[in-house]
Structure 1
Amino acid sequence: MVFVQDLEGVDVTGMGRKIRYHRSFRPAGTNVDFVKVEGEDHLRIRTYERGVEDETLACGTGAVAAALVAHLRGLGSSPTTVVPRGDEPMQVYYRYEEGKFVEVALEGDVRLIYKGRIEEEALW
């Protein structure tokens, strides 16, 4: 997770790829989130996703991580609105008690974007 001042100026693919493949994250690699604090309890996020190997429009895991790290840095509280590249806001709810997060939840829009069927013979 990288907190930045200029989210639009970040080379998400270039920087994300360098961090994703850094030796510290071998062998599996890691997703890389670039986060901008836009106001109290409001974040914007751009995500480089491993496997996709490019920027994605949204990442729920990244949104939750951004909200929790922002809280630890004194930059937010629950609920936190996180807006990804796809501009569909997500809400992250949590409680922080005795030095740990409890009851973490993510809320956002969900849509079916594809439905398909694979014939059994295609699996072999």
Structure 2
Amino acid sequence: MIEYIGLHHVSLAVRDLEQARHFYTNQLKFQEIQRPPFNSKGIWYAVGTQQLHLLEHLEGETLRRGAIDSVDGHFAIWVKSYSETIAFLEAATIAHEARPDSLAGFSQIYVLDLDHNIIEFGAAYGS
């Protein structure tokens, strides 16, 4: 039997690493961390105790082109405050889809990065 400890990282394919860096570092304010010197282009971020790995991949099958579809593959980040996250996204002029009374049992906010990777922010109702 496997003894699971937790999720370590999520990897996303991106078409333009520098554009992705601008979005995740400058707009979303993710903390960039050291990445080993692989033979590929990428950026790693710390997201709480987990990591997000962006990998430049120009022709991968996982690259999306469509709008937000919460049934499609995505990753989710739990945030402390729904209202503060909405305010942050609006101040940064980042388009988002808010679901304050989601049937999920918590509030949800969805955004797209520049490669149409879906990011979900979840928070307790009323936070």
Using structure 2 for the length normalisation, give the TM-score. 0.25
Higher CA-based Rg: 1
Query: Higher helix share goes to which structure?
Result: 1
Report the TM-score when normalising by structure 1: 0.26
